[in-house]
Structure 1
Amino acid sequence: MLFNSYAFIFVYLPVTFAAFFLTAKYICNRASTLVLVLASFIFYGYWDVHYVPLLFASITFNYLVGRQIGLTNNQRLWLIFGVVVNVALLGYFKYTDFFLITVNNISGSDFDLPHIILPLGISFFTFTQSAYLVDAYRGEAAKHDFLTYCEFVTIFPHLIAGPIINHKKMLPQFIAEKTFHINIENIAIGLTLFAMGLVKKVMIADNLAPIANNVFSRADSLTFLESWVGALAYTFQLYFDFSGYSEMAIGLGLMFNLKLPVNFNSPYQSKNIIDFWRRWHMTLGTWVKDYLYIPMGGNRQGELKKMRNLFVSMLIIGLWHGAGWTFILWGEFMGCC
């Protein structure tokens, strides 16, 4: 279900909003949390109900592994087990076809492609939960019940397009008493941000998309001017699409008294490539810094290893964005910059 669809704006959002706050008022906060969790699963299942069990299994697995990390002396083994399973799940769905295509091209073999459909949001909920396991290993993950953990992973404003959220900042909000009471100021700000994002998505990005698609569909017969028109149309389509979704997500969160992290901060105003990556997909950059770059050594082991760590981090960011050599080369180029 897309944020800009009629079904979401006129049915799903008002029904979920009313059900959440009415349940909190007339029944209890726990029941209200359950309503929001079920609504988020419905939101996810609207795209394809067949992948709801996969999402639920992933949540259950990571919650149990996280608890086991906190209860056992073999914390490192449980962490490795949890992260490997998460990465394997993501790799199977997102990169199997790409891997087989590469093998076929290099070896001349003819492996059949399974054409696996990528589950919606799998990159986001995989990274979110892997970070939770790492923090559990570090002793930084507070213990919460399964229902609250489900809400953390599935909360619909972030589930399919980010931002990547962190349990240390979000879990306390899910159980705070003020979360379950209507806040007119938050609703007003949230609606404003949602409307701004909706305009960017529908009126700008979606109108630029046909222009970019038309140009890229006939790349072998373009004039100089058409090439620039297509490149600029795609550049601003991507910008306003991502910016719009980021603002809509934050706005939706505020309507439910949740402060999601800022994920986009005018990256085309950046002064250099480092500044760009501090502004573009900010939560992904933070995740890579905290759970990949710094654990590899960051900038603490000399300039050469710092460059290596930056290169690997950007390579992972490139691969995260898509399964293809163009994404890998793009990540390598960003790493070299």
Structure 2
Amino acid sequence: MLFNSYTFILLFLPAVLAGYFWLGRRSNLAPVIWLALASLTFYAIGNWQFVALLLLSIAFNYGIGHLLIVAKLGPSQRKAALAVGVAGDLLVLGIFKYAGFAIDNINALAGTHIAVHILLPVGISFYTFTQIAFLVDAYRGQVAAYALPHYALFVTYFPHLIAGPILHHKDMIPQFEQERSKHPQSHLILCGLIIFGMGLFKKTGLADGIQPLVMQAFGPNTPTFDQAWIGALAYTFQLYFDFSGYSDMAIGISLMFGIFLPVNFNSPYKATSIIEFWRRWHMTLSQFLRDYLYIPLGGNRLGRVRRYVNLMVTMLLGGLWHGAAWTFVAWGALHGAYLCINHAWIHFAPPIPRRLAPVAGFVGFVLTFLAVVVAWVFFRADSLATALLVLSKMAEPGNLALGRGEIAYALFIAVYAAFAWFMPNTMKLMGYDHRSRKVGEAFAASRLHSVYLYAAAAVLAFGVLGIQSRSEFIYFRF
């Protein structure tokens, strides 16, 4: 089921909210079970054949976690339990997501014709990483003993299940255990509806609106210089508003239930360095890769060369996490190289005089954005050959079409760039802070409160009117 569908907005979400708050008057546990069952229903509507796999994953990881938390195991037994848990998760992920990729490469190298057709369960990358983090923290002694319904809801919670954010048990399960969140809070419902409306408009109005221009670069015809740039930039902003829209909608839906999700997107195209970009883009994935891969590999504790190696390994695996294709490997390798260059610059470059800091910041912003656009070409292309062709055309300024269409498209993209670069993001507009559990305080106290409500209603209406028959979020495929 899609957030951007009439079925979800008019039927599923109202019914789940009504049941959740009705049960909340009678019990503290019943709403948790209701929401977990609703989340499984949400998943089953589009992926019924993988519900059993999701349930088995929950049972397996909860069992391993129980051993690590409650059972009195020795050090070697604890390590063995963690190894079994993580290996089991990665094995399932590897079979469903990477077996076909591995077989295709074996066929290419060995000249064989082995055929493998494995459907990819939607959301498997997200719920697998969520549970691996849980197991590692349980091994480290950082997890309390949670009841099974709360853990099941933590994994299946439908606002995050399909495309993130990657949740952390310390953020979420204590909220599920609180009685206060089981009762309707008009302020949170209103703020959630406003944030949901903004996200819906980003998806149906902005991301879907610019999607046709992507084919200027990635369509069947060989692009010219301006067409290649138009297509690459169109995809850059399509992905931005698509992912930003999903992140807003997930937070807005969750707020209606009185539950705060972590921020996963914070105006990444305003970054002035690649390091800053990764603190703003897919923030929960960045945190996961840092805490459960980069730091365990040694981080920056083992010398400068090892730090660069760890960065490259982390980003290569981060690229593979997004998809089983060499294009994603190339995307991860590029960002790994970018991060290495960024860290080397910080270490070796001379200090920038204070009077030149604004100029340096602008140059950093431009270079960062261009580097990100180049990497997105690999992310979008269906093959390395296609990506290299598009990049080669982006480097041929003498090969221009420059018709009325291209000029109009360029102006259209400039409007999107203005939104991304100069407008405050949704979380800033709404004063959303998931750590302090605050949202919309300035909005509620403003004299223009009614004006904001009318504007929010208009944005929601445009978002609903823009709903197409089926327009999936780009991150559904990961």
Deviates more, 1:237-246 or 1:95-104: 95-104
Residue of structure 2 equivalent to 1:218: 220
Distance 2:150 2:313 in 1: 34
Partner residue, 2:149: 147
Superposition pairs of residues 174-323 of structure 1, within 5 angstroms:
174-213=176-215, 215-219=217-221, 221-323=222-324
Q: Judge which range, 272-281 or 223-232, deviates more.
A: 223-232
- Please, which runs of 5 or more residues in structure 2 have no aligned partner? 339-478
Percent sequence identity over aligned pairs:
51
Q: Distance in 1 between matches of 2:326 and 2:13?
A: 38
Corresponding residue for 2:393?
none
Higher relative contact order (CA 8 A, sep 6+): 2
1:97 correspondence with 2:96: no
Q: Hey, what does 2:113 align to over in structure 1?
A: 110
2:92 paired with 1:75? no
**SS of match in other structure, 1:117:** coil
* In structure 2, C-alpha distance between the alignment counterparts of 1:156 and 1:280, rounded to whole Å: 21
CA deviation digits over 1:123-144, x for unaligned, max 9? 0000000000000000001111
Q: C-alpha distance in 2, partners of 1:56/1:251?
A: 26
**Which residue in 2 is equivalent to 1:332?**
333
> Is this contact kept in 2: 1:142–1:168, CA < 8 A?
no
Structure 1 residue ranges without an equivalent (≥5): none
Q: Give 1:164 deviation, angstroms.
A: 0.3
Give the distance between the partners of 2:335 and 2:47, measured in 1 at CA: 35
Partner Cα separation in structure 2 for residue 214 and residue 286 of structure 1? 35
Aligned to 1:18: 18
Q: Contact between 1:263 and 1:279, CA under 8 Å: does it hold in 2?
A: yes
Closer/same/farther in 2, CA of residues 214 and 15 from structure 1, 3 Å limit? farther
Q: Quick check: which has more Rg, 1 or 2?
A: 2
**Greater CA deviation, 221-230 or 165-174?**
221-230
Report if the CA contact (8 A) 2:216-2:223 is conserved. Answer: no
**Counterpart Cα distance in 2 of 1:199 and 1:323:** 31
1:199 Cα deviation (Å)?
0.3
Q: Deviations over 1:51-85 (max 9, x none)?
A: 11110000000000101122122110000000001
Deviates more, 1:99-108 or 1:117-126: 99-108
8 Å CA contact 2:131, 2:155 repeated in 1: yes
Give, in angstroms, the shift of residue 14 of structure 1. 0.3
Between 325-334 and 126-135, the greater mean CA deviation after superposition: 325-334
Q: CA deviation at 1:169?
A: 1.3
The residue matched to 2:46 in structure 1 has which SS?
Answer: coil
Q: State the AA in 2 paired with 1:61.
A: F
Q: Given that residues 190 and 253 in structure 1 are in contact (C-alpha distance below 8 angstroms), is that contact kept between their aligned partners in structure 2?
A: yes
**Cα offset, 1:317, TM superposition:** 0.8
In 2, the alpha carbon distance for the partners of 1:185 and 1:225 equals 48
- Name the count of aligned residue pairs: 334
Structure 1 range deviating more: 124-133 or 203-212: 203-212
- The offset of 1:211, in angstroms, is 2.4
Match of 2:416 in 1: none
The aligned counterpart of 1:134 is 136
Shift of 1:48: 2.0
Normalized against structure 2, the TM-score is what?
A: 0.69
Could you tell me which amino acid in structure 1 is paired with residue 317 of structure 2? I
- Following superposition, the deviation at residue 215 of structure 1 comes to 4.0
Does the residue aligned with 2:265 lie in a helix, a strand or coil? coil
- Given that residues 215 and 222 in structure 1 are in contact (C-alpha distance below 8 angstroms), is that contact kept between their aligned partners in structure 2? yes
So what's the TM-score if we normalise by structure 1?
0.97
Residue aligned with 2:184, SS: coil
Q: Distance in 2 between matches of 1:185 and 1:302?
A: 50
Aligned to 1:37: 36
- The Cα of 1:214 is off from its aligned counterpart by 5.8
**Are the counterparts in 1 of residues 216 and 228 from structure 2 also a CA contact under 8 Å?**
no
Q: Which residue of 1 aligns with 2:175?
A: 173
Runs of 4+ in 1 over 6 A off after TM superposition: none
Of residues 121, 136, 139 in structure 1, which corresponds to 2:123? 121
CA distance in 2, matches of 1:167, 1:304: 34
Contact 1:128 1:164 in 2 (8 A): yes
Report if aligned partners of 2:216, 2:230 keep a CA contact under 8 Å in 1. no
Q: In the TM superposition, what whole-angstrom CA distance separates every residue of 1:207-259 from its partner, at most 9, and x where no partner exists?
A: 2222214641215x222222122111111110000000001111111111111
SS of residue in 2 equivalent to 1:69: helix
Which one-letter code corresponds to 2:16 in the other structure?
T
* Equivalent position of 1:49 in the other structure: 48
Which residue does 2:357 correspond to in 1? Answer: none
Cα deviation, 1:181-213, whole Å, max 9, x if unaligned, reads 111111111111100000000001112222214
Structure 2 residue aligned with 1:85: 88
